Structure 1
Amino acid sequence: MDMADRRTLLKLTGGAGVLALSGCLSTTDDGNESGDDGSGDDGSGDDGSGDGSSGDDDSGDDSTDAYEIGMVDSLTGSLSAFGERNQRGVELALQRVNEVGINDRDLELIVEDSESENQGGIAAAQKLVNQDGVPFLIGAVGSGVSLAIYESVVQDTDVVQLSQNSTGLNLTNFPGLLRMSPSGRTQSLALANLIDDDGYDEVAITYVNNDYGQSLTDAFVEAWDGDIAYNNPHDQEQQSYSGVISEMNESGADAWLFVTYQAEFATMVNEAFSAGYEAQFYGADSVSGDNVLENTPEGSMDGMKIVVPSAPVEEENYQTFASDFEAEYGQQPTSWSAYAYDCVMNAALAIQAADEFTGAALQETVRRVSGPEGEEATTFEAASQILADGGGPDDVDYQGVSGPIDFNEDGDPVGFLQILEVQDHDYEGVGFIEG
């Protein structure tokens, strides 16, 4: 997929990829990165009345047309590494959904690029909601971007918004904004306990100057019983962070906590390593990734510990997902891929269980198709069959590859966390925490 193209329609049907560029829905081309959502029809067994709108009925659509939903993802910008992982997870989910189909209908996902910025996310969401008329919106990467989309575009509409990769604590204050990844509060508590258990009573913190960085850091400070020797923000996409690193070193703290993104953290690691500074590094979820390993010297992070959202890797459905992912892409998935995969599954089941393909109807089903009251199902095929056999949204409990998806009243799910340690310039799992 051309990552520079901000308007990409992605469709997978029975495993075959078809890609149409720049909103030209009838123009196809080959695509190697697809993002499309499982389609759905209503659970009543009717031929469906969905038309891709967010509430207005365009009666010209044929009942066999695909459902269209939207996704705002980071295809470019500082969070694009997460966006790439999302698209791979989405592609696999769409294959599974459209292999089964819902009343012989597919689902198409229109993907727009947030460019990893709030304004880019707002523009992308406005296009999807106002022009394309999608009733369901997956998005976005970055808590600030997700909140900006919700407050500027989605709030006070019937459109369902489900974020794939937002852990900022402030999202809890917006119960209409759902998210698949758990709140960062559990990360902050886990980091405070981890650093304390390692024997440190003083910490220096730097965090990215946005909602994600501020909220996780505030929660850490609230949970931390020791001293805070340094606690200051930094801006994204700076050429150098030598001033920040120097001040952390001068603070005298032996434990340094980084709440930032991969590109910014890699720059900091290089500058700390070049300066010969020695400290025990800790990090929140978004400092880890291949981009960091590839752009930092071996030995520059050994011993660092990072707390990340995690999937329940011992469960059979996750292992099947991971095996399929590795066969397709030659690498293991991350938890971010799993969250994106489950966003597609949740959307598809919500559509199938709804009486009609509108935002108002999907609001009634999106939380319930993965709620704990129903019969557990670990695949789309099994969950879809429950609905096809006459079950309603409360009769199915989809168990995601990222874990149980039981949204609470604030729109937050139960989450799993994993502790990673950098060993020989690679990430090794050393423990799990259930949030």
Structure 2
Amino acid sequence: MSKSTSLLAAVALVVTGGVALADDTKVGILMDITGPIASFIPPLQNAANLAVNQANEQGGLLDGKAIAVFGDTTGSAQGAVDAAGKLVNIENVPIIMGSLMSGTTIAAAEAVAIPAGVVQISPTATSPAITDIEDNDLMYRIVPSDNYQGEVLAKMVLEAGNKEVAVTYVNNDYGVGIGQTFIEAYKAAGGKITSAVKHEEKKDSYRSELATLSQAGGSALVVIAYAGDSGGKIVKQSIEGGLFTNFIGTDGLRDEALINDIGAEALATSFFSSPTSPADNPNQGTLHELYNAAYGEGADKAFVDQTYDATFLTLLAIQKAGSTDRAAMAAALRSVASAPGEKVGPGEWAKARKLLMDGKDIDYDGAGGSYDFDKNGDVSGYIGKFVVDGNSYKQTEVMQ
């Protein structure tokens, strides 16, 4: 972890990009910098900063510079409310990129952003509950709902020859959403759930839950949780107890911290689902070249594409609105993300800025694909299948 990243992880709110001048615009970046997904964060901070830096190097935002203001949710609901409150009420940001976890995204939206009339766009929050929030058109995300990922995962599990599996999912917005969707879809497609156990976060031992799951049998254990919390512990304790050797996980478990803790050999027969980009998307290659040129490596890490795209869309929305008027952000965001309009992609800030200043429409297609929001602020998308490859993950399949 770099020195700058360490500083970000140590405080709840950090402003990057120097001292803000009168014409500069602060942009809220809400992330779970500390907490159960902390190991995901450094490359995602880089992705957000890359988008901001490109805007500043290619003409700036509105009449000045973009200033990224990071808020740390600490991976908790109260932390999300506190961090979002600072962004909205103290930093006076016009729009927020984030948060990442479903629970922190929902907490920040319901307690702070929606009451204040501030648009939030999450790059990674997947809970189905987000779809039905009464948000006054203020809540957006650029990954598909877990209602979709659960169905795709069920297909992946059956296609891999697993006709009977045990399932455990964490008792939070993320785990319950995808866990229940997966179970229903898997059973409807002919699979058998030998045992399904909902577990709590932040426990030291899950051996009791694992005993129940193991006794019921199954060719694999499906674990829907975060590797930095219960998910990693469950996999490790299962291996230590000789209970399961084959694991299937979702994006929360597709964390290199799991490989570092468990070892690649022990995960050789496991696979993981995660939102991804279209396989033939040239904009992904463009972003990865730009990202690695700036940071040396890391473009292939989980959710780099989506975090960059969400930040770039946030900046485009402000530029389209022509001001920091919060009430103008939702319409501006929808406009820059969808047709009609001239296509712009990652790194093309100068092109997009000129088109917008000339009064023309743009349509941003990102590294993660195109983002046409429905009435709920949701998008369709792609789910990838990932396997462990050395000390990282390799995508082997993409499903739309």
TM-score (norm 1): 0.83
Of 352, 356, 378, 1:412 maps to: 378
Of 173, 178, 191, 1:216 maps to: 178
After superposition, the Cα gap between the structure-2 partners of 1:353 and 1:297, relative to the gap in structure 1 and judged at 3 Å, is closer
Equivalent in the alignment of 2:299: 332
User: Secondary structure at 2:194's aligned position in 1?
Assistant: strand
After superposition, the Cα gap between the structure-2 partners of 1:93 and 1:147, relative to the gap in structure 1 and judged at 3 Å, is same
- Tell me whether 1:383 sits opposite 2:349 in the alignment: no
The one-letter amino acid of 2:201's match is: Q
Equivalent in the alignment of 1:179: 141
Shift of 1:363: 2.1
User: Secondary structure at 1:308's aligned position in 2?
Assistant: strand
Verify the 8 A CA contact 2:197 2:213 in the aligned structure 1.
no
After superposition, the Cα gap between the structure-2 partners of 1:132 and 1:103, relative to the gap in structure 1 and judged at 3 Å, is closer
Equivalent in the alignment of 1:126: 85
Verify the 8 A CA contact 2:227 2:254 in the aligned structure 1.
yes
Q: How many residues matched?
A: 383
Report % sequence identity.
27
Cα deviation code 1:285-325 (max 9, x no counterpart):
11012111111134211111111111235433211211232
CA distance in 2, matches of 1:170, 1:203: 26
CA distance in 1, matches of 2:321, 2:174: 33
Alignment map for 1:28-427 (pairs within 5 Å): 62=22, 65-100=23-58, 101-174=60-133, 176-225=138-187, 226-263=191-228, 264-312=230-278, 314-327=280-293, 328-378=295-345, 379-391=348-360, 395-423=361-389, 426-427=392-393
The one-letter amino acid of 1:111's match is: F
Cα deviation code 1:109-131 (max 9, x no counterpart):
21111000000000111111122
The one-letter amino acid of 1:10's match is: T
Shift of 1:135: 1.6
CA distance in 1, matches of 2:297, 2:144: 27
**Residues 404-413 or 416-425, more deviating:** 416-425
Cα deviation code 1:169-228 (max 9, x no counterpart):
111112531112221222101111111222333221111110110011111122122222
CA distance in 1, matches of 2:325, 2:63: 19
**Residues 122-131 or 292-301, more deviating:** 292-301
Verify the 8 A CA contact 1:309 1:415 in the aligned structure 2.
yes
User: Secondary structure at 1:97's aligned position in 2?
Assistant: helix
The one-letter amino acid of 1:190's match is: V
The one-letter amino acid of 2:40's match is: F
Cα deviation code 1:5-53 (max 9, x no counterpart):
1120012xxxxxx4xxxxxx57xxxxxxxxxxxxxxxxxxxxxxxxxxx
After superposition, the Cα gap between the structure-2 partners of 1:426 and 1:401, relative to the gap in structure 1 and judged at 3 Å, is closer
Structure with more of its chain in helix, by fraction: 2
Equivalent in the alignment of 2:11: 5
Cα deviation code 1:78-108 (max 9, x no counterpart):
1212332320111111121111124552111
TM-score (norm 2): 0.90
CA distance in 2, matches of 1:390, 1:322: 30
Verify the 8 A CA contact 2:278 2:398 in the aligned structure 1.
no
CA distance in 2, matches of 1:335, 1:408: 25
What is the Cα-based RMSD across aligned positions, in Å?
A: 1.9
User: Secondary structure at 1:390's aligned position in 2?
Assistant: coil
User: Secondary structure at 2:265's aligned position in 1?
Assistant: coil
After superposition, the Cα gap between the structure-2 partners of 1:426 and 1:139, relative to the gap in structure 1 and judged at 3 Å, is closer
After superposition, the Cα gap between the structure-2 partners of 1:160 and 1:206, relative to the gap in structure 1 and judged at 3 Å, is same
After superposition, the Cα gap between the structure-2 partners of 1:348 and 1:200, relative to the gap in structure 1 and judged at 3 Å, is same
CA distance in 2, matches of 1:317, 1:334: 16
Cα deviation code 1:325-357 (max 9, x no counterpart):
233143333341111111221111111111431
Shift of 1:426: 4.4
Cα deviation code 1:342-386 (max 9, x no counterpart):
122111111111143111011221111111222211132332222
The one-letter amino acid of 1:141's match is: L
User: Secondary structure at 2:267's aligned position in 1?
Assistant: coil
Which segments of 5 or more consecutive residues in structure 1 lack a partner in the other structure? 12-17, 19-24, 27-60
CA distance in 1, matches of 2:62, 2:226: 42
Verify the 8 A CA contact 1:325 1:333 in the aligned structure 2.
no
Verify the 8 A CA contact 2:239 2:245 in the aligned structure 1.
no
Verify the 8 A CA contact 2:117 2:138 in the aligned structure 1.
no
